[in-house]
Structures are given as C-alpha cells and as structure tokens.
A = this chain, B = another copy of it.
Amino acid sequence: MERKTLYNVAVVGATGAVGQKMLETLEKRNFPVGEFRPLASARSAGQQVTFKGKSYTIQEAVPEAFEGIDFALFSAGGSISEKLASAAVERGAVVIDNTSAFRMLPEVPLVVPEVNAHMISQHRGIIANPNCSTIQMMAALKPIYDAYGIERIIVSTYQAVSGAGQAAIEELREQSRQILDGVPIEPKILPVKSQPKHYQIAFNAIPQIDVFEENGFSREEMKMVNETRKILGDESIHVTATCVRIPVFYGHSESVYVETRKPFDLAEVRSLLESAEGVKLVDDLQEQQYPMASDAADQYDTYVGRLRRDLFHPRGLNMWIVSDNILKGAALNAVQIAELMVKSK
C-alpha cells in the first residue's frame, strides 16, 4: 500500500458491539477515510449504519467486496475472518483482525501499539488484534517488563458482558430487571452462546469465558497465557489466568500479580506507569482513588491502581488494571494499528 492522503476502509461486522465502536473511533480520531464500506454476513447485509453523519447500506462480505480497499477491519467472528481475510489481502488490503483466527500464527504480528509497534512492519497482509483481556494487561505491564523483566503473572479477571457481544449486553439488561421484579429468568446467551448450558449473569459471577480446553483452562484463559508471551516476545514468562464474567456492561477489571525478574522500587514503578503511553495511574488510597469499570467505560486509556508490594515476596507486585474492553480491548486498538501503518509510510 503506498502513502495516500485518504484510505479506503472496510469494516466487517459493522453492526456488532465492536464494529459499531470501530466506526465511532475512526470518526472521532479523524482517521483519513476515503471510501467507507461497511460489510457483514448475509444476515446483516442490507441494514443501515451511520458514519460521519452519513447513512450507509451494509453490503454482504464476499471476496469482491474488498476490491479497492486499503484497510479491512474484521470483527465478525473467527470463521468469517478465516473465510475472507485472504481474499481481502489478495486484493491489496491490509487486514486488521479482531478475532482469534490468526493471532498465534508465527507470520502474523499480534500488536498492541504501545507495546510492540515495531512488529507491524513484519506483516504479510494480516495484523492481529489481541484478545481484550490481554491488551489492557500488556499496556500496563510493558513499562514494568522493560524495567525489571517479568518472571510470572497470576491474573484473575472481572470481565464485562460486552465482550460476548450485543446479545449478551441485552441479556444482562433484561435479566437484571427480571430478577429485580421477581420474574423467572431464562438465560440464553452467557456464558457461551454456542454451548448447551446458559446461566444467570445478573447478580452473579460465571467462571467461564469461551469453551474449556483439555488442560482445564478456558480458551480465554489460554489466550492470556499465549498472547502475553507472543506480544512481549518472551517465552520464559509464566502466566496463569482465571477468567470470570461479572455483571458489568463495559470495562474489564483485572487483579494482576506479577513477579519481576529484577527487584523493583515501588515509587519507580509508579513513575514508570505515570509516564507510560496509554496508561493512567489512579492510585491514591487516602482519597479512595482506584480504577473502576464505571470510570473506564468509554475512555481510551488503561487505568492502573492498587499498586502494592507482596508482603512476603520481594519481587511480588499486586495491581488492579481496568480498561474499556470494546475500545482499548478491541476497536481502539485496531484503529491505532491502522494509524501506525499510515504514519509509518
């Protein structure tokens, strides 16, 4: 792709929770969009979306729909990415894929711009957006990794329902009201729509995100393990994750325990985080200041707080990391990757 003034952009999955935010983010950040082309599965084609005050009819995502496109942002599920990403690449587009379809392929860069922007130059047409819960953890841990190294991470997540899409948002809303009204509920979406059992999410915590693997970890938990190691380019980091869905609409929270390689100074960690790109330190216990999903929702930054040294391990650090899972965890990170590519031309 040569340097241009404007770039033709396709968004695949334009009606989804993430797709909608991609449109909003491209607009808000003034991405130099030439032609805008919203795409979706046959089921959603024909619907209208609004971009920069103009209404667009969604076209069906077929190979030919990528003709003339510079950037194709995919967020319509792994199977659609698998089916169509190469068609987009063949037609000259750079694919920025928000699904897990290509993330672990060695030839596909897995990029959080604040962490490993240098990887984008190695792309062969596809750049993968990491999983939401990984992105925010990486944004917060990168300065610590650079200064001290990281030996291990033990993370427990508190994840918003929007990570499971628009239907999960609706389910939480409706179910909450039913429970408050004393009306029987009928869970249909969470924890995993395609699995046989569905459970109450309102006023509950479900320790399942995505399906389970043979080793007893969920696929979401394994994403945090594998993607962390790939993004930091360091296979020596040990990660254990427990991923939990809680009744929050937007904003994942994470309780992260890190053991650094070199000893750290807590005041220095604070100042590293204060000056880190895309990170906001919110950590004043006297003033009861700490990150919360309610504050992080609709914001671009990753919020970090509750920083404290393990009382027993000299290189143990506790922290609380919160970010909007649909923005930094998905749509914003994808747009930032596109911005980086434009800048690097």
Contact = CB atoms under 8 A, between A and B. Distances in A.
B240 A306 contact: no
Interface residues of A, number: 59
B158 A246 contact: yes
A288 interface: yes
A288 B242 contact: no
A308 interface: yes
Interface in A292-345: 292-294, 305-313, 316, 318, 320
Given A255-B156, A288-B196, A309 B216 contact: yes
Contacts of A311: 215, 217, 225, 238, 240
Interface string A190-219: 010001110110011111100010011100
A290 interface: yes
B308 A216 contact: yes
Contacts of A205: 158, 246, 248, 253, 292-293
* A contact patch SS: mixed
B212 A249 contact: no
Contact of A216 (B196, B212, B307, B313): B307
A244 B255 contact: yes
A152 interface: yes
Interface in A238-269: 238-240, 242, 244, 246-249, 253, 255, 257
A292 B207 contact: yes
A309 B217 CA distance: 9
A240 B318 contact: yes
A156 B199 CA distance: 22
Contacts of A246: 158, 205, 246-247
Contact of A240 (B197, B292, B310): B310
A172 B242 CA distance: 26
A156 to B, nearest CB: 4
The 3 closest A-B pairs by CB, nearest first: A216-B308, A238-B312, A156-B156
13 contacts: A154-B154, A158-B158, A180-B180, A199-B294, A204-B292, A205-B248, A215-B311, A238-B310, A239-B312, A240-B310, A240-B311, A240-B316, A246-B247
